[in-house]
Amino acid sequence: MGCAPSIHVSQSGVVYCRDSDGGSNSPHPSGFSRSYHTHIHHGAVGPISIKTEATDGDPPTLVQTLAVKKERRGTITFEAETQTSRTNMKEQTGLPSQTEDMLGPMKVKKPAIRILLVFAKEDSQSDTFWWACERLGYRCELARNSEGALEAFLQKHHDLVIIDHRHSRNYDAEALCRSIRAIKSYEHAVVVAVTRKSPNEKEEPSILPLLNAGFNRRYTENTNLGACINELLMLDHSEIRARNKLKACQALFAAIENVSEAIEICNQDHQLMYVNPGYERLTGFTSQEVVGKEKGLPKSDKNSLDLHDAINTQIKKGKSWEGTVYDHRKNGDSIQQHIHISPVLGHGGKITHYVTLRRSAGQTHTSGPLQCIEKLKADSDLHLQSDCCRRKGSNEFNTRKSSLDIKSTHSGNSCFEGAGGKRRDSIARIHAMTIEAPITKVINIINAAQENCPINVVQALDKVLEILRSAELYSPQLTSTPKDNDPVTSDLVEGLMTCGSRRRYSSDIALSKNILPQFVPSSPHSHLPDVPSDVQAILDKEPQWDFDIIELERVTNKRPLLYLGMKIFSRFGVCEVLNCSEVTLRLWLQLIERNYHQINAYHNSTHAADVLHATAYFLNRDRIAGILDNMNKVAALLAAVSHDVDHPGRTNSFLCNASSELATLYNDVAVLESHHSALTFQLTWRDDRCNIFKNLSRDDYRMLRQQIIDMILATEMTRHFEHLSKFANSISKMGASARVEDDRLSSHSGGMATPEHDTLRTLENRTLINRMLIKCADIANPARPLDLCVEWAKRIAEEYCQQTDEEKERGLPVVMPVFDRASCSIPKSQISFIDYFLTDMFDAWDAFVDTPSLITHLTRNYKYWKGQAEEAERRGESVTRLEDVE
Ligand code: 5GP
Ligand code: MN
């Protein structure tokens, strides 16, 4: 069967092949004495018969075996390489026929073992090894001197070299061993010294000189075939096997040396054992500078105080930790990085090593354990309208679009088409989100360029990145008119995102004269009267998204904030958190509600109640409830209540153009939002009876105040895209991945224990979440049930039209000319508002929070407005009068 074992003389071009495999079946070496043929591989000298002599019991000597033998440079090769013969040999010797080993999860193929015998003179010892090889099916070569041995070794890199150490005349065995050891990348060979029997049986010579020369083992001369076979088998099963696995480790090192992520390996005492070139690039430290030193956890005062605890708790449990942290580079800069620390467990589950992967935050990759997001992205590709752009692009998240075209992934219809509450679509879209400020693109390009750059360039670019990452650079520049030069959208955007016109108007207006309204609650006992049953009936539906706030406005005689506020505050235990009485809380709510202008069509206390409702609804979603703490939640509720207090029913632009007192006071910057926030605190502190903060500790008050201010200021629309891109790029993607993981683990996971959840809970991230929460609540009215959505659309249009009326009347610049009573198209303005501001925002929000009802309503309402707009067009009307909106 198959090709028979062969004997050939190396490099001579002559190969001696055995005639048949019959000999292999022989249970005894004597079976080897058969007739042989030789042939020349590269030529055609046909088989030549080789005569061998068989002797029962003892193996024939090489001289006997190889009647025809050519020698050159002192090597002779014996090969017994067919499966048949090897299997047969294994059967005879009881060797398992396993051809693969496992190195962790890696399959390592066991090579056909190659052995180099270095014997100056053939004798019974070399012959016995030779025959043992034959019996075991190992490939064998014989070298006669150091030169021949080295040359053979360099060519074939044998797994095992057996050097005759008994005679020093012909070559220096130890020098030869050293030379072999010095050959780089073949250091995994096993080298055995054959030594003489000690003349004095009682005195065993030291093995140390041999070990120092690089030998792995000593074999005391023994020409018994069984002893040689056993020796070879032992070596095969121990040293050779282990070294074969070590060779496979080189492949792993090649891999980790070439990945762009930074990889560091520490021992159990956190001493660095290894860092890859990616580490050098990321941190600026060279391998020599850090290996052997202790590696601490990420240090930066930008990290949350409990970061180390969070990491330690996780890794001590043998679990990996992943998150975004700050750590210092060699030059002292603190850079944000995604890190993944995994403990490696050894015997008895004890931690033996720590492997840490890092990459600079913002750098994107396609492999490695940091890639849950990428995995999710790949999953989601099926659902994306724009996936082809990304696939054919680079591996960067955000480079798929080449221009600042915020909405260009949307097809003619909204990207909500077919949403129907499919949060998966939202997750998909958030990963494809295109709300990138130009700065994001710049950062991505630099990140991509950093890969495989020399370390000094990487360092320089890191500095550039640090500068570019400063917050102010994140604001997108609205240089071009958005969305196909659509006048409705551009008016809307100009109106909401800019502060005043360049034209100056001197006319003073008397807006917000009532900066400190004189309202003081009528009596300290002004209890809320019993909640009337009709109010109660409506309030019962408060936990649902389709709660009817307009109906509550009606039955409460335009005081919905007080009733809804008390209901929601009691549900969230606001009194307990603030350590204040219910009376104080009621008086506060009344005070704030009274400072809303009921005369405003839109920005009245019903809007505040509506935003409070949405806020409470979001706070109750599992994801948010598990991340925010009580103080965050109370801050959100209070901010919602007071976020538009004393709103004059005019936009910031109007106030700036009109040089109002408020605009002057706040230097035209976030005029209204600054006012809402400042007034909230002024009102609260003015009278002890409604001071809900009075019992808080100084620290709690500071924290709460800071959060309320931050949230109210976040409702300012000029920074809409900044807030959204920060949220989408960090929280939303991370949250969506964590949620997919939650789903995978199914509901039994209960609490949220993944490293991503820990990261989400940092103070910084909770702030981002709260900002987005109030923003979503503030402009969620187009995502309410249709009748409510239509009502809100009418109200905002009415308020804007009133502003236009006044602008015209007073000769002020008309900030949003499309909101003119004579020509206003509510459907068009809603379509633009949804397209421009809401789609991406609610995608990001839904991906994180899971808000299917919102997405469903938004999708339906969007279609409704489209239908209305088309109908108006069919009728030839460019105008939908307010009264005509159903
Ligand atoms: P707010 O002043 O309510 O705190 O901030 C939200 C902004 O979004 C307001 O300026 C408001 O005019 C605007 N807005 C909210 N809902 C709608 C809407 O349905 N359509 C339009 N065109 N603007 C809206
Ligand atoms: Mn508002």
Strands 334-345 and 351-360: antiparallel
Structure tokens at 281: 């690039």
Identify the helix (H) or strand (E) that includes residue 345: strand 334-345
Q: What is the mean pLDDT of residues 199-221?
A: 89
Predicted local confidence at residue 741, as pLDDT = 57
> How does pLDDT run across 14-63, given as a tens digit for each residue?
222 223 333 333 333 333 322 233 222 333 333 323 333 333 344 433 33
Min mean pLDDT across 385-389, 445-449, 708-712 is at 385-389
Q: Please calculate the CA angle 229-133-81 and round it to the nearest 5 degrees.
A: 135
Residue 412: pLDDT band by 50, 70, 90 thresholds?
A: very low
Residue 87 has pLDDT above 70, yes or no: no
Min mean pLDDT across 505-514, 547-556, 706-715, 750-759 is at 505-514
Which positions are annotated as active-site residues? 603
Residue 819 has pLDDT above 90, yes or no: yes
Q: Going by CATH, does the domain composed of 502-774 fall within 3.30.1490.270?
A: no
Per cent of the chain over pLDDT 70 is 70
Residue 393 has pLDDT above 70, yes or no: no
> How does pLDDT run across 358-384, given as a tens digit for each residue?
888 753 333 333 333 333 333 333 333
Q: What is the mean pLDDT of residues 252-279?
A: 87
- Site of tokens 């798929």: 400
The number of the ligand 1 atom at minimal distance from the alpha carbon of 830 is 20
Predicted local confidence at residue 203, as pLDDT = 81
What is the number of the ligand closest to the CA of 495?
1
Q: Please check whether residue 277 is in contact with residue 284, taking contact to mean a CB–CB distance below 8 angstroms.
A: no
Residue 339 has pLDDT above 90, yes or no: no
> How does pLDDT run across 757-780, given as a tens digit for each residue?
777 888 888 999 999 999 999 999
Strands 160-164 and 139-143: unpaired
Give the whole-angstrom CA distance, residue 621 versus residue 571: 14
Question: Which fold would CATH assign to domain 259-405+436-445?
Answer: Beta-Lactamase (3.30.450)
Q: Kindly give the distance from the C-alpha atom of residue 766 to the centroid of ligand 1, in angstroms, as a whole number.
A: 24
* Paired strand residues for 880: 825
Residue 883 has pLDDT above 80, yes or no: no
Give the whole-angstrom CA distance, residue 97 versus residue 90: 7
Q: Going by CATH, does the domain composed of 6-249 fall within 2.40.160.60?
A: no
Predicted local confidence at residue 252, as pLDDT = 82
> How does pLDDT run across 277-309, given as a tens digit for each residue?
888 888 888 888 889 988 877 877 777 777 888
Predicted local confidence at residue 463, as pLDDT = 75
Q: Please check whether residue 275 is in contact with residue 254, taking contact to mean a CB–CB distance below 8 angstroms.
A: no
Predicted local confidence at residue 850, as pLDDT = 94
> How does pLDDT run across 88-114, given as a tens digit for each residue?
444 444 444 467 888 888 888 877 889
Residue 565 has pLDDT above 70, yes or no: yes
Predicted local confidence at residue 862, as pLDDT = 98
Q: Kindly give the distance from the C-alpha atom of residue 424 to the centroid of ligand 1, in angstroms, as a whole number.
A: 27
Predicted local confidence at residue 482, as pLDDT = 52
Identify the helix (H) or strand (E) that includes residue 664: helix 661-665
Residue 406 has pLDDT above 60, yes or no: no
Domain borders along the chain are 6-249, 259-405+436-445, 502-774, 779-886
Residue 787 has pLDDT above 50, yes or no: yes
Predicted local confidence at residue 884, as pLDDT = 61
Residue 550 has pLDDT above 80, yes or no: yes
Q: What global pTM score does this model have?
A: 0.52
Predicted local confidence at residue 184, as pLDDT = 76
- The two domains 6-249 and 502-774 share their CATH topology (first three levels equal): no
Give the whole-angstrom CA distance, residue 711 versus residue 775: 8
Residue 755: pLDDT band by 50, 70, 90 thresholds?
A: low
Q: Kindly give the distance from the C-alpha atom of residue 771 to the centroid of ligand 1, in angstroms, as a whole number.
A: 16
Residue 566 has pLDDT above 90, yes or no: yes
The residue whose CA is least distant from atom 5 of ligand 1 is 715
Min mean pLDDT across 263-272, 430-439, 543-552, 584-593 is at 430-439
Beta-carbon contacts of 227 under 8 Å, excluding residues fewer than 6 positions away, are: none
The residue whose CA is least distant from atom 19 of ligand 1 is 793
The number of the ligand 1 atom at minimal distance from the alpha carbon of 643 is 4
The pocket of ion ligand 2, defined by CB under 5 A, consists of 644, 778
